[in-house]
Each structure stands twice: as structure tokens, then as C-alpha cells.
Structure 1
Amino acid sequence: MDDVRSREWDAIVIGTGVGGGTAGRRLTESGLSVLYLEKGPDLGDEALSALEIETRDPETRLSRGAWPRLLEAELDGAWCELDGMIGAGVGGTSAYYAATLERPERHDLDTGTGHPHPTGGWPVGYDEMQPWFQLAERYFHINGEVDPLAPNGAELLAPVLPLPESDAALMLDLRRAGMHPYRTHMAARFLPGCESCFGRRCPRRCKMDGRSAGVLPALESGRAALLDRCSVTRIQADGTRVEGVTCRRDGQEFTLRAKRYVLAAGGLGSPSLLLRSGSEAWPEGLGNRSGLVGRNLMFHLSEIIAIWTGQGQQRGEESRSISLRDLYFMDGQRFGTVQSMGLSAGFGEILHALNGRFDQSPLRRLRPLRHGMRIPAMVAARMLGRAKLFVGVLEDLPYAQNRVLPDADDPDRLRFHYDISDELRSRRAAFRKAMRKAFRPHRAMFMGAAPQLNFAHPCGTLRFGDDPRTSVLDRDCRLHGVENLYVADSSFMPTSNGVNPSLTIAANALRVADAVAAGLRLAAGGGLGY
């Protein structure tokens, strides 16, 4: 511990999720010394289920790799607490994710193509990102089938998981209906039974996440160290340089120093830390001269639909096998990917969905009628069997009023304000209509009536761009006005795109790491004489 605290590192990486873990590994591969700082514990290869923890106790939550406090949100003007599935442990949220890693579309990144929002452009286009997408796909062992609508896209390994018979039949039905399904792109190695770890911590490291694909290879290089249960409370910056980070561990407060700093605390955590790190030179928060730190918060909307295929699906056949992008960008509207969830629905799930519809209907005040929903749910379950669950990932767009709300006194408190825009509500209705049409003639039912934000996908709160007046980071994701602080998590994204953001985060983290290494080489006169 003393050696870690006393030395100056080439780079300190704050956070060990997909972004931080990947960036740190790439830096060690460039010959640099790296110190990882992680708020939560290193749980090793301990197998734990998903982050839905039935307790509010901060220590218990943290001991299981969950953020210690529930999120506090002002949603459409109403305050609430919610469990946003935010991780706090080595691997971050990715230790529990479902490992679906897909590239965005070319038009997502290329400025001026299909973006209805005036500030939606990316300063780095698809072709410039391509080498890092390819590298991230190798780091994370991405396997699946090439999307037939993007034949020159991802470079993939063969699918790890066998295709269930009922999924094969559904894919054939979709093709007959003019759709273009393909095997979902998954981050997993070739180990039997690896499907059991999607959505939970993997004890065998077959699922590739921020820990298994990033932190562990970095530590094995001998050029990296890890401090877990280490809370970074403040970034110390005077003028144009970060001088150190204030940390708290085991009741002690201390400062750590490096030549470069990579912030990867997540789409909510990173802006919160910057806003807490104000100084005389940065009275509104570090890097916040534009007033945009924490603003333009985006999530995805999740539209879950149950599909009865008529193929006699039973429990145990569920797999995350099918994706399709036919609805990704339709009639000038930005929708997103549709994917199987690896889950099925029976009586309980159908009843829950029907009750939700009842609660949104004009009959909701007649509460005794709600009990009658059990009858159609039971009839549907008996007549139709178990349904396959699919989720539509609906792109969110940036609005400055959707923002992180800092708490100067409590680093464990993540708060935000979010209003669902009229534009998003309208686009959601069109997306649901398109999803139902895509699965015809199969019976289908949406599993929720109200919009469902995916709180595990916060992004956009430190957007990158070429103009310091309209962005927080430059094109290398270095904080405008601060020469040695970079960001490598989802907060850099100007738009959320229509896919899970993990592969984009990983690819950009590799790009950022290369920029950090190049800057250090330049500062050292072309050598790595550290």
C-alpha cells in the first residue's frame, strides 16, 4: 500500500468497468505503469446473481458489487428512488451485464446523417473508429453472425452457443416475412455452459467484461496495480493540470499522483466527481466553463414484447440468440436494435403485463376489476404456452435539461433530473407499432404500458466535440482546458445510438488510451524512459 501511494504512476485510471478496465489494459500494453482505483470490492471469481439487491444498507450493497446507495431521480417532475443496476466493484456494471456487444451503425457516428437533434454530431466518424472497434472485438472475444444489413461490419468469431430449435424456426419465419435476423453478438469465450453467466457474475471468466478483458490482463502484465474499496472524493486541479486525486480507503484520506489521469466512473459518477472538484480556477466544477458538465443525460428506452411462436418452447430453451436491425432507422426515425432477451414469459409475466395495462386504463379506479386479469392471463398461458421475450433498444437523444445533479457532501449519492420529451414519446409509439408488425403473424403482447428507461445505460453527460463552447471533452476525450485528464466511459457520447453502448465504450477507451500513450511519449521526447 505504501509503495502504491508514494510513487508517481504514468496513469491513474478511476473505475474498472468496460471503459476503465479496457483503457488500463491498453496503457500497460504500451509499456506504461497504471494504477486502477475502484470504489467497490474485488470479488474475485465469486458467482453472484444480478444487481437487484433487496436492501438499502450501503455496506451490504457494496459488498455485492452494487452502488452503495439507490439512485435519486426527478422523473417528469416527481422525485423517486430506484435501483439503476449500477455496479461498484472490479468490472463495474459489466460484471453483471448480459454481454451483448454490438457496433453502432455508420450513420450513428457520421455527422449530419439522420440526426434530428442539432447537437447530435460526433467529431470522430465511423471510419476513424473502425480500427478500435476491431481491436475491442478481439479483446472481448465477440462472437455471433454478421448482420446481413451490414456485411462489412464487425469481425466475429463463430457463435459460442448452439441455436435452440425454436429460435431456428423463428429466424426462418422472420426471414420469410422479409426481416433480416442474425445471431446476436456476444462477449464470451468458447466454454461450455457460458450462457448461464449472462446477467450475473461469471465464476469461470468465460464472459468477457471490464475485469476479465481489461483489469486481469493488465495486472498479469506486471505493470498495473489495483486499489479496491477506494473512493475518489475529489480531483485536485489548479488551472490547466490535475495535481492529484483525493481518496478515502479504510477510513484514511490520502492523495495519489500520476502523469495522466483517466476518469471512467460512469455516465453518472464521472460528471458528479467533476462537479464536486471545483476550485478557485474552476468555480463551477472542474472542466465546466461551458456549463455542460452533467447535462445531455441519455438512457435507452426498453420495449419488451412477448412473442408466441407456436414452436412449443419449454423452460431451458431460452437463449440470447436473435437480433435484427430492420427497424434501426426507418422512415427518417431513429429507433434501434431488437434482440431476444434469453428469457421466457408464462402466467406470472402475462398477469404482470395485463395488470400494468389495467393501471393505465380508465378502469383503474375500479380496483376489484383488476383481480379479473388473472383469468385472461391463465387462458393465454394454457393455450399459447411460454412466450419468448424480446427487447427493443430505443435510442434516446440529448437534451440539456436532462442532467446529473451533484451532491457536494456525499460521493455515494447519485442524483439526476430527466424529463421524457414529447419527441421521445412519439418515436416510442412508432417503434412499438413497427416491432409488432415485424413479428406478424405471431401472437404478441408488450409487457409494459409506461416508458421503461434503462438506467444501466446512462451516457452523454461529458460529451466530446471540437468546440469547447458546446462540449466538455475534445476529440481525444481530454477535458477542455485540462491537459492531463481524459475520460473513457459512456459519458463521452454525443448520442446514445440504437445498441447497447458497451462495445462503443470499449473501442473509444482503446482510442483514448492510445492518445494518452502518444502524449506521454511526446512529453518524454519520443521514448518511454520512465
Structure 2
Amino acid sequence: MVDARRHGPKAVEAVPPLGRTETQTLAALFDTVVPPDDAPGGWHGGGAALLREHLNGFLDWAVPVLSAAIEAVDQAARDMFGSTFADLPALERAHVLANVLQGEELSAVDHAERADRPIDTVIELALQAYYGGTREPAGWQLTGFRPVPEGVEEIEPDPVPHVRPGALEPEYDVIVVGAGAGGGMAAAELAARGRRVLLVERSRPFSNAELRGNHLQGKRQQLHDVIAGPGRGSPRVLELADGSTRVLRGDGPGTDYGLVAMALGGGTRVWQAMSWRFLPQDFAMASTYGVPDRSTLVDWPFGYDELEPYYERAEWELGVSGDSASAAATRAPRRRAFPMPALRDNGLRAPYTEAATRLGWNACPIPFAINSVPRAGRAACVGCPQCVGHACPVDAKNGTHNTAIPRAIETGNCDLLMSTQVTEVLHDQRGHARGVRAFHVADGTVSELTIRARSIVVAAGAMETPRLLLASGLGNDWVGRNHHTHAAAGAVAAEAPVSKEYVGPGHCVATLDFVHAGGAPWGGGVIFDLPTMLPVETAAMGRASAASFGVVHKRWMRESPLPLGVLSMVQEIPHELSRVSVAPTVRDRFGMPVARLRGCAHEASGEAAEFIRERCVDWVTELGGQGISSDSYPGGSRGGEHSGGTVRMGADPARSAADPQGRLHGTANVFVADASLHPTNGGFNPGLTAMACALRVAALMP
């Protein structure tokens, strides 16, 4: 055993803007949360590095909270032991910390506000620094986590070429707003057809290295200012159930904000890459199940057969791996096999499939937009454990950033303009668009642009697309309405006879037996194995399962297996009150009205989620799981990565925002090409469907 005192807080350098004495107390606090032993404690194991690097950056909000925590433990230490906190032995420091934390839990009025819970916040930050960090923290070695498998050489792809404002043409045939799943596919199709296209993306160019390995600012974790997020100056307004509102910062945690990754490729840059087709029944939900009260549920204006050729194109142009003989292929009729075989087993497919078989269910490999074999000059998946929410270390994960958009540019017909936010679609009173107004940011300098085009395609996502249209005075009353994501359910075992390893891509096996089948109400949804949890996520779970901090928590992190269980995506029945509108008084840094989000869960979605929750428990029980916990979520999210429906398609302008070809009602040349078009969102991840719809919109544009 190494002498723990060598990791102690006695000789520490000040972390500005904190003074030396404050820093010593803070170091003692971090080492009390994660005590040093044969591994470093919380301060040297990640806390000092995190605060030195980011206390004047994305953690600037924490300075007064940390000061309050320091004052609280010093006062308690003097009251209890007649000494400052940093001068106490480790056991007495732990006693002080537990005592102050208990008092905080009893007295805090609003635990959602960090200022009301400074001790809890320090514990949270210490665990995040040790097990997450923004560089390799000590907790990774402690838990056996490796961000990249041993022996794998990371690859940094060449940047995608983009133009400067001075190189823009006087006029384009089409401006595509948003270089994500839909916008990337639409731009590629239009450029291939000889249209002169400008693809506009609001994010700056990111390297792949910037979008992985940071578990505090990653897209999926959303613990702090997300790297692939809007940043400062881009607030949103959240409307609560009682009608009151709260302004959300664009550089805060992404959960309430409803964050969709803002990067070249949009969500496909860092997605988990599940690539499901919707089933035929998903296009006729109202006809199949009826329309419950207070719902905006309708059928799609066309059926599965209309979209099938575009599904095929999306799979082959993107690159999808799957088992062409499985339910993932046969439940949705297809004319062509997957481009690549299914990804290799991560060690769990066999036991999950065997358990499903004993239940009388079918299970199959999940189709992924990830190379299972080398393809298109890029490597096959290496099984890194942080695929979900992070960029790929070998560029094996497929998105529009490394498929459709480069192909569009290679035609010579497409220019890509980065770091540019479109704030208005310019049009006349007849709804004929003539261009866009936008703001370009480079090296801290903002320049306003007016760019002309014969047609506009808006593909900024199901929250930003209606925002732009409404801010521009375009569209009918259905723009922004019908917003929905997914309901969900899951079950997790405390103990199981099989164990999960840190092997990607995270998911491996699924059952479709409760998607429009098996007695599932309202379309049900797909059930699949639990993703690989990162150490920082496991540490948060440990606070509830073992102890908030200290020796017991650290031992739990060393000894506890990764959680084993299942999750699901459940069809959400859209509620009439869920919508995206624009705030009348709050504006972003460019003067554009911000999005106002309201979510309301429909009871039908809750019914479906509860049914699926019971099936989740059945599967985990059959796996041999013990101490199973489960939950269901009825939907009603204010926004998120599966958002859709806010500019839904339909033949009748009285019940839809866009026509069946994606043209915005009331306009001559404004089209939408993202998940905003989806009347319903299926019981699957909707990414592939958004791309297929975008291809169709672009192919049918006059």
C-alpha cells in the first residue's frame, strides 16, 4: 500500500480566482470525496487539473458555489473539532462533510439550484473530475476504462473543405440551411442533379479529436457546456406546466435545453448510429389505432412503399451494417440487403438472444451506420467504449459529415459555409423566398450576410427549423405544433450471471416483437440492450447505490460490474399542447427570437411505455438478473435528439404545415428536409427515416 499522505492537500498551488488557503481547503474536500490510497485521491486524480483548466471557462459559474462550500466545511470543522477543515485527519474530515451534507439536504429549498446545495455540488464536481475529466483522469485506470482499445492508432480525417463569405456566389439555385442528417443528404442529392447549392452550417469546424474523450462536455452526457452545442448567446425559453417560463442558457447543461448536436453532420457526427427503418404501420398510426382525445395524431400522407426506395439509398449511400435475414430487415420489406454484415458480437448477443428465445421472442443484431468491414476508404469499427455521443477514433462511424457532404462538394456544385447562423428567410408577401439573412463568425468578428437563392431548403432540426420559419413570418398555424420525441422504458439488474465489458459500440441486440405486435398498445417500440455506461455515469449511480462519497464509494467503483439491462424507444403519441414557438421578448446574440419549448406527455404514450417496461423486466429477469429496477417515461420532452413533427407533412393545410413533397404550405419555393416533417416518429430511432425523407424531398423538388 502506498502512503496516502503523498497525495494529500498540504502543499497545493492556488487555483485562481481562489486563494491559496481556499485551494487547500478545496483540495482536502476533493480528497475526502475520493480518498487517496494506492491510487491518487480526488485532487491529484483529476480535480486540480479540471479546475485549473476550466474554472475561468465553462466552470466559471462554480466559483461562488465552491467558496460557499469551503466556508461551510471550515465553519463546521471549527464548531465540531476546533480546527480548519484542511488540518483535520481524513476520518474527521469525512465526518464533517457528511454532517454538512445532511444539513444541506434537510434545509435546501430547491435542489435544482446549485447555490442551494454547495456541498452536494462539490461532491458532484469531485466525482466528475476523477471519473470524467476533460483529460485522462485517474478514475479511468481505476475502473479499467480505455477510451481507445490497446494497439489502435487514432485517425484524424482531413477537414471537409469550406468557403469564406468572400468566395460566395452572387446567387445559388438552392440554399440548404443546416448540415445535419437531412441537410447533408438533401445537399448531396441536389448537387448530384446539377443544382448549384450552398450548404450553411452554424457550428464552427470541429476535429474528431475535439468531439471525443471529454465525458463532461460530451453530447450524450450533457453535464456542462456541451462542446457541440450553441454556446453563449443562444438561450431558449422553457415553458413549464403552470405556464411560467425559465430562460435556459445556451452554454449550460443540455438536458432541459433540448440539445441536438450542432456540428458538421449534426447528430450523425456523434450519434449511436442505430439505423432502423420505420415499419409500414408507422405510416398509418391514426388509421391503425384511432386518435385519442387531445392528440394531434394523423397518418403520413404516403405509405412505406413510397419511402422504401429512399430508405435503400440512404442505407447504401451512408453505409449501414446489419443482418439481412433478421427481423431488422424482414419486418420492414426491402428489395436489397444491407451494404455490410452486422457488427461483431460484443459478448452479450448470445445470452440476450438465448433469454429472448426462452421467452418465445425473436432477437437480432441492431443495424448500425458503422462500418463492420472497411468501406469507402475508411476503417472498420474497433469497438471503442465511448461511441455513444462521441466522434469515432478511426472514422468508422458513418454520418453525413463523412459521406453525403463530401460527395456533394466533390461534384463541384456545392459550397459549404461554416460558422454561419441563418436568422431569416427573405421573402415577399406571396411567400416567394429570394434568399437568407445570416451572421458569420470568424476570429471573434461577426459579419452580416445577405445571400440570394432561387429556392430554400430548411433542415435545421425539429426545434430550429420551426424557429427560423416563425421568425421569418412563414408558414401556417401548424408550424411548431405536433412536437414529439419518444416515450421510453428500461430495466437494470444490480447483479447478473453475465457481465458487460467496456466494448463498443454500446448496443448489440434488440427485439422487434413489441413493435406493432405482441399486444403492445399504440405501436409499442423496440427493446435493446443497455449501452455501455462511462465511468462518470457509473459514479453518479454509485451515489445512490453505495455512498455519496468516500472509501465506500471508491470501493464500489472498483468492484461493481457495469450495469446490465435493456432500454427501449417507444412510439410517442403527440399531444396538442406540445409545441415549439418563438419567444416574444428574448433574443439571441444576433437579435433573432429564440425558441420557446413546451412539452406535454399524452397518457396514451404512458400506457405504451408502461407495457414495454414490463417486457423489459421480463427480458432482464430471464437473463438471470437480480435486484432489478425499472422505470417508464411517457414522453412529453421539450426537445431532444429524436424530436420531430414540428413542420409535419400532409395534403390538407388545415391539418399540416408542409405538403407531401416537403414544400411549406403558403410558399412557392421553401422546403423542409429534416425530422420536422415526420407526422409520427415510430418506435425506433428516427435518423435513417429523416435521411430517407430528405432524399425524397430533394429528388422531387422542381
Give the direction of change, closer, same or farther, for the CA distance of 1:231–1:317 in structure 2 (3 Å limit).
closer
Q: Which residue of 2 aligns with 1:493?
A: 678
State the Cα deviation string for residues 435-456 of structure 1 (Å, max 9, x = none): 2124432326346576574722
Q: Which residue of 1 aligns with 2:49?
A: none
Structure 1, 459-468 or 344-353: larger mean CA deviation: 344-353
Secondary structure of the residue aligned to 2:415 is strand
In the TM superposition, residue 128 of structure 1 has moved relative to its aligned partner by 0.8
Secondary structure of the residue aligned to 1:108 is helix
In the TM superposition, residue 201 of structure 1 has moved relative to its aligned partner by 1.7
Q: Which residue of 2 aligns with 1:144?
A: 322
Give the direction of change, closer, same or farther, for the CA distance of 1:484–1:449 in structure 2 (3 Å limit).
closer
Equivalent of residue 85 in structure 1, options 259, 268, 277: 259
State the Cα deviation string for residues 106-165 of structure 1 (Å, max 9, x = none): 100146542433632000110111100100110111111243375263531343532133
Count matched residues. 488
Secondary structure of the residue aligned to 2:664 is coil
Equivalent of residue 490 in structure 2, options 304, 311, 323: 304
Equivalent of residue 153 in structure 1, options 316, 324, 333: 333
Q: Which residue of 2 aligns with 1:11?
A: 174
In the TM superposition, residue 337 of structure 1 has moved relative to its aligned partner by 0.8
Distance 1:72 1:346 in 2: 32
Q: Are the counterparts in 2 of residues 306 and 345 from structure 1 also a CA contact under 8 Å?
A: no
Q: Are the counterparts in 1 of residues 524 and 570 from structure 2 also a CA contact under 8 Å?
A: yes
1:243 aligned onto 2:434: yes
Secondary structure of the residue aligned to 1:186 is coil
Q: Are the counterparts in 2 of residues 109 and 121 from structure 1 also a CA contact under 8 Å?
A: yes
Give the direction of change, closer, same or farther, for the CA distance of 1:353–1:436 in structure 2 (3 Å limit).
farther
In the TM superposition, residue 2 of structure 1 has moved relative to its aligned partner by 5.6
Distance 1:13 1:194 in 2: 34
In the TM superposition, residue 375 of structure 1 has moved relative to its aligned partner by 9.4
1:325 aligned onto 2:490: no
1:271 aligned onto 2:466: yes
In the TM superposition, residue 170 of structure 1 has moved relative to its aligned partner by 2.1
In the TM superposition, residue 12 of structure 1 has moved relative to its aligned partner by 0.6
Q: Are the counterparts in 1 of residues 272 and 505 from structure 2 also a CA contact under 8 Å?
A: no
Q: Are the counterparts in 2 of residues 18 and 506 from structure 1 also a CA contact under 8 Å?
A: yes
Matched residue type, 1:73:
L
State the Cα deviation string for residues 283-329 of structure 1 (Å, max 9, x = none): xxx112xx111011101133232245512444447742101111222
Unaligned runs of 5+ in 1: 279-285, 357-368, 520-530
Q: Are the counterparts in 2 of residues 353 and 447 from structure 1 also a CA contact under 8 Å?
A: no
Q: Which residue of 2 aligns with 1:120?
A: 298
Structure 1, 296-305 or 307-316: larger mean CA deviation: 307-316
Structure 1, 18-27 or 160-169: larger mean CA deviation: 160-169
Matched residue type, 1:305:
A
Q: Which residue of 1 aligns with 2:206?
A: 43
Secondary structure of the residue aligned to 1:427 is helix
Task: Map 1:32-431; keep pairs closer than 5 Å.
Answer: 32-49=195-212, 50-51=218-219, 52=221, 55-56=224-225, 64-68=227-231, 69=234, 71-77=236-242, 79=245, 81=248, 82-110=256-284, 112-117=286-291, 119-146=297-324, 147-148=326-327, 151=330, 153=333, 155-159=337-341, 161-189=343-371, 190=373, 191-196=379-384, 197-238=387-428, 239-250=430-441, 251-278=446-473, 286-288=474-476, 291-307=477-493, 309-316=496-503, 319-329=506-516, 330-331=518-519, 332-344=521-533, 349=538, 352=541, 355=544, 385-407=561-583, 409-410=587-588, 411=592, 413-431=594-612
Q: Which residue of 2 aligns with 1:526?
A: none
Structure 1, 488-497 or 249-258: larger mean CA deviation: 249-258
Secondary structure of the residue aligned to 2:427 is strand
In the TM superposition, residue 395 of structure 1 has moved relative to its aligned partner by 1.3
> Could you say which structure has the higher strand fraction?
1
Matched residue type, 1:511:
R
Secondary structure of the residue aligned to 1:298 is coil
Distance 1:333 1:271 in 2: 27
In the TM superposition, residue 192 of structure 1 has moved relative to its aligned partner by 3.7
Distance 2:630 2:505 in 1: 17
Q: Which residue of 2 aligns with 1:359?
A: none
Structure 1, 194-203 or 133-142: larger mean CA deviation: 194-203
Q: Are the counterparts in 1 of residues 426 and 436 from structure 2 also a CA contact under 8 Å?
A: yes
Give the direction of change, closer, same or farther, for the CA distance of 1:388–1:246 in structure 2 (3 Å limit).
same
Unaligned runs of 5+ in 2: 1-163, 213-217, 249-255, 374-378
State the Cα deviation string for residues 352-405 of structure 1 (Å, max 9, x = none): 39949xxxxxxxxxxxx9979x999999997x9443242210111222211113
Distance 2:264 2:643 in 1: 19
Distance 1:166 1:466 in 2: 46
Give the direction of change, closer, same or farther, for the CA distance of 1:213–1:149 in structure 2 (3 Å limit).
closer
Structure 1, 14-23 or 413-422: larger mean CA deviation: 413-422
Aligned identity (percent) is: 24
Q: Which residue of 2 aligns with 1:457?
A: 642
* Greater Rg over alpha carbons, structure: 2
Q: Which residue of 1 aligns with 2:64?
A: none
Q: Which residue of 2 aligns with 1:281?
A: none
Distance 1:259 1:457 in 2: 31
Distance 1:44 1:345 in 2: 22
Distance 1:347 1:93 in 2: 22
Secondary structure of the residue aligned to 1:342 is coil
Give the direction of change, closer, same or farther, for the CA distance of 1:222–1:198 in structure 2 (3 Å limit).
farther
Q: Which residue of 1 aligns with 2:26?
A: none
Distance 2:542 2:682 in 1: 27
Matched residue type, 2:510:
S
Give the direction of change, closer, same or farther, for the CA distance of 1:375–1:173 in structure 2 (3 Å limit).
farther
Distance 1:119 1:319 in 2: 33
Q: Are the counterparts in 2 of residues 110 and 126 from structure 1 also a CA contact under 8 Å?
A: no
State the Cα deviation string for residues 399-434 of structure 1 (Å, max 9, x = none): 221111313533484330112223323332222112
Structure 1, 216-225 or 465-474: larger mean CA deviation: 216-225
Q: Which residue of 1 aligns with 2:651?
A: 466
Distance 1:348 1:485 in 2: 43
RMSD of the TM alignment (CA)?
3.2
Q: Are the counterparts in 2 of residues 20 and 263 from structure 1 also a CA contact under 8 Å?
A: yes
Give the direction of change, closer, same or farther, for the CA distance of 1:484–1:428 in structure 2 (3 Å limit).
same
Distance 1:236 1:317 in 2: 45
Matched residue type, 1:120:
V
Matched residue type, 1:137:
E
Distance 2:235 2:382 in 1: 30
State the Cα deviation string for residues 77-133 of structure 1 (Å, max 9, x = none): 365642433222211122111111100111001465424336320001101111001
Structure 1, 205-214 or 29-38: larger mean CA deviation: 205-214
Distance 2:632 2:306 in 1: 40
Matched residue type, 1:476:
Q
Bigger relative CO (Cα 8 Å, ≥ 6 apart): 1
State the Cα deviation string for residues 39-70 of structure 1 (Å, max 9, x = none): 111224444133245545xxxx5xx3212246
Give the direction of change, closer, same or farther, for the CA distance of 1:166–1:354 in structure 2 (3 Å limit).
same
